[in-house]
Each structure stands twice: as C-alpha cells, then as structure tokens.
Amino acid sequence: MKRQLDRKPHVPRSDQETIRHGIAAILRRQAMSALEISAELHIPERDVYPHLEHIRLSLHASGELLHVTPAECRRCGFVFAKRGRLTSPSRCPLCRCEGIFPPLFAIGEP
C-alpha cells in the first residue's frame, strides 16, 4: 500500500518555510536567543524552538552547523553545557537562582 502525500497540512508549508528561512538568515548574521528571534520575526517564543530543531537537522545538508552557546547562571556563572534541549532552563541547579542568561543560537561553519 502506497503512502499518500499529505496535500492539506493544517499550516501552509510555505509559511513555515518562510519563517525558517528568516530565522536562518538572522542567525547567519549574528547570535541570538530564542526570545530575540521571536521579537524579530513576530512569532511566539515557543514556536522558535521547533524551527530551530528543524534548521539544525536541515543544515547538515549544507555543511553548516547550528552553534549553541549554552545558558549560564547570572549569579554563580554555572554553564548548562550538557543540556541537550534548546529551551532555556528555569533555574540554576547550584544556587537556585532564576536569573539565567538564555542559550544563544548562531549558524556558521562547523
């Protein structure tokens, strides 16, 4: 049985691709947090993360990488280096401080 192509996605595919191209263009110029990206493109911050995941996977084809500068605690300087997720942590595991510098994203050479 052949798989049918989904011709009627809920969100027009072209819009999603336009947003992703916009994010990629921004991140090739400078590093930005998800909040800054959301403000730049007028989309909710929570929508930025799936786009970043998609961009991260699609970049392998072009030989570029999504560089992630890890989140960092503003109070004690703890770096969330091993965090696999792209979202910002809510509090520091060492000092419990909730003031966290969010991760920054950029696209460039591996």
- Interface contacts to Zn ion, rule CB under 5 A: 73, 75-76, 78, 92, 94-95, 97
Least separation in angstroms between residue 51's CB and Zn ion is: 29
Minimum distance from CB of 106 to Zn ion (Å)? Answer: 24
Which residue's CB is nearer to Zn ion, number 27 or number 73? 73
Nearer to Zn ion, 16 or 88 (CB): 88
Identity of the residue, 9 or 77, whose beta carbon is nearer to Zn ion in the bound complex: 77
Least distance from C-beta 81 to Zn ion, angstroms? 14
Structure token digits, residue 37: 């990206």
The residues with which 32 forms a beta bridge, in sequence order, are 105
Task: Give the whole-angstrom CA distance, residue 74 versus residue 15.
Answer: 36
Question: Residue 48: which of 84, 71, 22, 10 has the closest Cα?
Answer: 22
What's the distance, CA 43 to chain centroid? 13
